[in-house]
């Protein structure tokens, strides 16, 4: 079953047919992995013929590329909005961790694909996605460095700390399921508290 | 390339032929995913015929099951040794995070497979591995609860905190590569400091 966050990713932006194919791609890649999925599997899951798929996407790789780009752009957007949401690094970081966690819990299906199938991307899509990932991590590091500069945080190495913050959130997509006992929002709040402490910030 | 930690997993325990097949399985699953790998791919990577593979493993699933069981048993062993390594929860946790991080950084190839291909396991292997995973997480939670009881740690929810500690370590296998700038040991020490803080423990 596609989670709601995944289903919303292309709402309004694409034709209904392309959207159905993208969601069928997400489902199929999540179930069997990218390499074992054929364009026929995806077309069938979308209730179409393989020929109809090729009208919208030239290849299976092009479908993966669009899924990955869209997922990464949405993540970068979320992270930049968190940075803009408050003047101080503590509130920025709390917001960032809460939203990042909720996003990876709600969108765990697409989250697994965009994070575990990176090396299956065609070269140009890989380069673009790698650039988006650097901007995500740079935003997290910038907030940490800002916090250290004003005395709100205290870390030995901002790069490792930024990596830990993003890693903790990304891995939510691996283990979170619709049967998990915590809601995405509860988990986000708890992770926000844990991360602020990890950074030497004030307890929430 | 198989990392050293993976290569060491079956040293001495299995015949040379079975070991070659297990390592070829790890390599092949890591490269293309479990579902897209055939027993012929694995046999070829090991320099054997498919018929020779079947002498040692009845199926591709049996190979994955042995890889997953061995990886999880080694992880549980490491976690239990960390708990036994010191009387106090702070030192136990520092040791646990350092060893757990080093293990997932060094053994990132096998770490990815055992953590990302869980749902491909045959039913009996899945049940066994799920049991090992619960024992790993229970050990982490027991150390945290012990620390809270004696006033060394301070967390709102030991279960979420234990999940965060294991998640942070497991995700190292996803992002760590042989080109990473930190050594596994450096990363382990830094993560040890971050986790102790996250648990409300003393700064290292």
Express each pLDDT in A146-163 by its tens digit: 999 999 999 999 999 999
Q: How many domains does chain B have?
A: 1
Q: What are phi and psi of B170, to 5 degrees?
A: -60, -40
Q: Which two tokens stand for residue B179?
A: 């080109």
**pLDDT value of position B11:** 77
Q: Which residue of B has its CA nearest to A187?
A: B160
CATH number at residue A91: 1.10.357.10
CB atoms within 10 A of CB B16: 8
Residue to substitute from B156, B171, B177, B186, interface A, most A β-carbons within 10 A:
B171
User: Would A74 be classed as within a structural domain?
Assistant: yes
Nearest to B176 by CA among B110, B128, B131, B120: B110
d(CA B66, CA B34): 14
**pLDDT value of position B188:** 98
User: Would A66 be classed as within a structural domain?
Assistant: yes
Total residue length of chain A: 204
Reported ipTM: the value is 0.90
User: Would A81 be classed as within a structural domain?
Assistant: yes
User: Would B81 be classed as within a structural domain?
Assistant: yes
Q: Which chain B residues are within 8 Å of A199, Cβ to Cβ?
A: 197
For residue A191, the enclosing domain spans 60-198
- Cβ of A172 under 8 Å from any chain B Cβ? yes
Q: Which residue of A has its CA nearest to B116?
A: A174
d(CA B167, CA B164): 5
Q: Which two tokens stand for residue A25?
A: 């791609």
User: Would A42 be classed as within a structural domain?
Assistant: no
User: Would B128 be classed as within a structural domain?
Assistant: yes
**B50-90 per-position pLDDT tens digit:** 999 999 999 999 999 999 999 999 999 999 999 999 999 99
**B116-148 per-position pLDDT tens digit:** 888 889 999 999 999 999 999 999 999 999 999
Nearest to B26 by CA among B68, B59, B72, B75: B68
User: Would B107 be classed as within a structural domain?
Assistant: yes
User: Would B4 be classed as within a structural domain?
Assistant: no
**pLDDT value of position A118:** 87
Mean pLDDT of chain B: 92
């Amino acid at each position: 079953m596609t989670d709601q966050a995944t289903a919303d990713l292309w709402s309004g932006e694409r034709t209904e047919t392309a959207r159905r194919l993208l969601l069928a791609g997400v489902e199929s890649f999540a179930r069997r992995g990218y390499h074992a999925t054929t364009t026929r599997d995806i077309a069938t899951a979308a209730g179409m013929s393989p020929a109809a798929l090729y009208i919208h996407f030239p290849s299976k790789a092009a479908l993966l590329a669009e899924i990955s780009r869209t997922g990464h752009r949405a993540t970068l957007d979320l992270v930049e909005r968190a940075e803009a949401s408050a003047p101080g690094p503590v509130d920025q970081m709390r917001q960032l961790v809460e939203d990042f966690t909720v996003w990876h819990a709600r969108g765990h299906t697409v989250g697994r694909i965009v994070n575990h199938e990176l090396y299956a991307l065609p070269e140009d899509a890989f380069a673009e996605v790698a650039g988006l990932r650097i901007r995500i991590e740079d935003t997290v590091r910038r907030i940490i460095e800002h916090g250290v500069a004003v005395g709100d945080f205290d870390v030995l190495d901002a790069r490792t700390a930024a990596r830990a913050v993003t890693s903790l959130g990304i891995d939510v997509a691996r283990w979170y399921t619709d049967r998990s006992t915590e809601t995405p929002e509860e988990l986000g709040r708890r992770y926000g508290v844990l991360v602020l402490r990890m950074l030497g910030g004030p307890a929430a």
